[in-house]
Each structure stands twice: as structure tokens, then as C-alpha cells.
Structure 1
Amino acid sequence: MTRRPAPPLPPPKARRHLRETAALTQTQLASRVGVTPGTVRAWESGRTTPRGRKRDAYAKLLKTLADEETARRTTQTPHPESAPEADSAPEPTSGSESAPARKPLPHEPDPVPESAPESAPESTLEPAPETEPGPEPVPEARPAPVPLTPAQAFDALYEFGAPALVRQTYLLTGRREQAREAVERAFQAAWEHWPEVARDRDPVGWVRATAYEYALSPWQRLRPRHRRPEPPPADPGDRTLLNTLLRLPPRHRRTLVLYDGVGLDLPETAAETEASTPTTANRLLRAREAVAGRLPALADPQVLHRRLAELASNERLGAARPHAVRGDGERRARFWTRAAIAFTAALVGTTALTVRTAPTHYEPPVSPGQAVRGVPPRAAQGSLSDEELELRHKLRDQLQHGPERLSPRLE
């Protein structure tokens, strides 16, 4: 886990002196650094030390205040030419009580009195500058820097942050291939959202958060590669430390790596893990207790930070070339774009076919037939008997209508 050296900071008393000299309150300085006034108070008292990006911003601001104080002192120093009757004052002799002439500062012109004798030795006179001092025309002397193309800026960001991110992700997962894949996917996502990432205050932090989310995703357990164990580290101490980290809950492990491994402060760790500051502090304490319980030698945070850096550096974890990552990301984006277009076209075609073949009016459904029970079966017609034939002839011969059949008659 490679990190650039932290910028030096003056002692706590010097920090407070620089702030008071610049007539800044703790609230004003905190707003310029991006922290709370209580944090500035702790920094100036020596209780805590800034870390990460806050340390860089604080060191830069203190350096600016120190430069302003130096410039203010130089401006307040009396100039030889501003002294009254400087031109007509005689040269001091060896027996006079006046102070010797002050050597001019680098930014001041050398005073050359008009009444100086011509016989003065040349070694005591320094050549005066031809022009008045002023800011050097750096922009005019140097050509304007050529702006980087998006691809060049992405390649620079990848070469700067990818190796360290792979080693950090390895501490979270314990798997080399998964760590490399997570970082590559994170940079591919950054390339897809490059305008947003390029304007971000911390593009490496944007990529780091995406890589950690991908590496700790629960869906990784369903992949066939996750079922095959990878060879552990060769060193027994590194192997024990890695197993201890992997036994921690994912959230505690991520908090420990960000704070003690990467070097972020507590508010930045809380913001990246999407948790409150007290919750993040509780997770950090629990993670440290778990590591110290298994490895008592790592109870000191400084020792733990060094061991995490050694564990990540001992593994040979390489990263792909930036142009290969960009190419894979562009191919994946084209594939999913074409798949989305094909799915949309199929959906539109299916909708059009449904509209074309759908009925235009309501047709009530025909109820299914049901069997009727309890009706006697119909007998088949057969030949008539003699009695039935005689009765039929009788009925046919008699009158079928008229009141004769309705009115009774006496026999």
C-alpha cells in the first residue's frame, strides 16, 4: 500500500501563533480547511493530529499564513532610501557611533549614495539591479500548459491510484483476482461517468468507494470462482493477519482499512462508509479490539498501520494497463447499449403485434356445457302390440274435435 509522505506540520503552538498573527478565528480557519472549530482546537492543543486530505489542506494553509507573515515582516522593515536625509548623510567613520550600513535584501535595490567618493573600493559596492523588483513573469516566460484530453487524464488517474487501490481491496477480500477485477470495474464506471469524476474533489476516493462496494457485494459468493480458495500469503504473520481481517464483519473491516490502512480521518471514513461519525468510531474500536485480541502486538494503531501496509505490499498485485481498462469498459458499454436497444425493439414489436391482433369489441365467453341429471332416458320406438294397434285405429276412427267429446252422454 504505497502512500505519498505526509506534509510536515509546525508544532501546535506555532500553528496557533500563525492563526492569531493572521487575525483568524478558529471558526474561520475551520471553514477554510473544511472541518469543525473543535477539530481545529484539538489540532492546536496537540490532542489530535490531522490525517489524509485534511492534513494536506491544513499544512498548505499554514504555509500560506507563514509566507504572509514573512512578507509582512519584510514590508515593515524600514528601507534605506526612506530614511530622512539619507543622500546628504556623511559616511560613518570608524570612530562614529552610528550603525554600519545595512546590507540590502534580495528584493531591494542596493542604495548607491550620490556623495560616495570615487576612491571607494569596488569590493564594498554591489551592483544595483537595473529595474525595480517585481513578480517574475512566469506565465509569459513559459508556454501555457496544454490541457489534457479525457483519455490522458483518465490514464494519469489510473496510473496514480490503481496499484494502491488493488492492494487495499486485497485487504478487504483476501482474493487477488477479485481485487483486480473490482478496481478495474470501478475505473470503468469512472470512465463512463468521467465528467462527474473529473469535477469531483477526490476522484481517487470516488473510485475507491465504487471498488469497495463491488468487492464486498454479497453476490460475489454466488460466483463459481468464489468457491475455489486462493493460496494464502507465504509469511505466517501475514497469513494470520489476513485471516483475522477476513473474520471481521465487512463494515468493520472496511472501516479499519480506511482509517488505519489508507489514513483517512474519522469524518471522511464515516462519509465514505455512509454512516454517522459515532457509528464509525464504534466500528473502528470493535475492529481494533478483535485484531488486538487475536494479535496483541497490533494493539498500537501505528504498528497496525505498518503491518497493514506490509501485508498489502508483500503480495505482487499488478494492474492492467489503462488503455486496456478503457477499452474493456467501452466494449461493455456498447454491449449493454445494444442489448438495451434490442430489448426495446422486441418490446415495441410485441406491443405492435398485440395491438394489431387484439379484438376490437367484447365477446362474452360461452359457458361450458353441464350434464343434466335425473331425467329418465328416452325409450327407443319399437313394434306395437295388437292392443296398441287396435287402440290406435280406434282413436283415428273417432272424431277428434267437436263438443261431442266434451258433453257427457247417457248410454
Structure 2
Amino acid sequence: MSVTREIRIGGPPPDPAPESPALSFDGFYHAHFRALVVQLAAYTGDRSQAQDLVQDAFCQAFARWERVAGYDDPLAWVRRVAWNLAHNRWRRLRTAQAYLRRQRETHVAGPNPDRVAVDTAMAKLPPRQRRAVILYYLADLSVAEIADQERVAEGTVKSWLHRGRAALAAQLRESTGEVRDV
């Protein structure tokens, strides 16, 4: 492998083509947007909010790109702005929630005894039976859909449902002395 080099004798080295600030910002934006969204989504727990925050941070960077581009690490500046925006948004939300809590008094009725008995009985079921009962009765999934989701045969799901219902009936019978509909 041979390397050819151009040797210029005399005169200054050729100037690289000047890159316009808009083009360099575009490349910077496309290179770092996704990574910053992932970081902020992990921090905020909301991908949509993270996208908004990072977009706002890049807007601020674009408005002062001449100066930001000259920093040693422009990405660190944009990241700090995005994190500050997230923190400020969280602080405003916390303040608003505290205000709302002070403004209205809410009374929430506790669960009725039937609900407590069912919840207690459900907690005693083995995890697979509990999951099958929840998916069948609360999520309204069919036996075939549950089997597909859990990657088991339909007969296995039917067995889990049968055993789960029998265990729930026995638990409810013990706790209340009567059988309740599950």
C-alpha cells in the first residue's frame, strides 16, 4: 500500500473550504440528537418529554451557535441545557402539584371488604396462575392470546385458569365463609 502525499513548495497551505455555521450545526444536531434523547428519557421517564427538552436545548444552541461552536465541548453545553430544562420543568410541576394539593381536599373511599378479600386471595396465587387470571378477566385476552403472549400451549393456559379459579374460590371461602363470584 503506498501513500501519496502532495508536497507544495512555497506558498501557504491550501485553505479548507469554509463550513457555514448552519451546515456544521446540522451535522452536530444529527450526530447527537438521538443519544441525548435516550439520556433524557432515562432521566424523565418520558420519551416524548425528553424529545421536547432536547429539541429546546438544540434551539438554544442554534440561537448562539457562533459562540457554542467555539466551546471545547459543544455537546456538553447542549446536554447541560437539556438537563437544566428537565430539572426546571420538574420543579415547576412539583410546585403546581403542591399548590393543587393545598387547594382542594379529596376524600377517597377505601376499598370495600370484597375487594380486599379478592386482592388478598390473588396475592396468594402462584405467579403464572395470577398472570393468567388477570390477563383473562381484567385484560380481556382470550386463551389463545394468553398462550401466544406467554409462549405456552393453550391447554397450559386453561390449566392455569382452572387452578387459579379453584384456588381463588377456596381462598375466598376460607376468608369469608361463603363463595363469591370471581
Judge same fold: TM > 0.5, yes or no: no
Q: TM-score range by the shorter chain?
A: 0.3 to 0.5
Tell me which structure has the larger Cα radius of gyration: 1
Q: TM-score, normalised by structure 1?
A: 0.20
Q: Higher relative contact order by CA 8 Å / sep ≥ 6: 1 or 2?
A: 1
Instruction: Report which of the two has the higher share of helix.
Output: 2
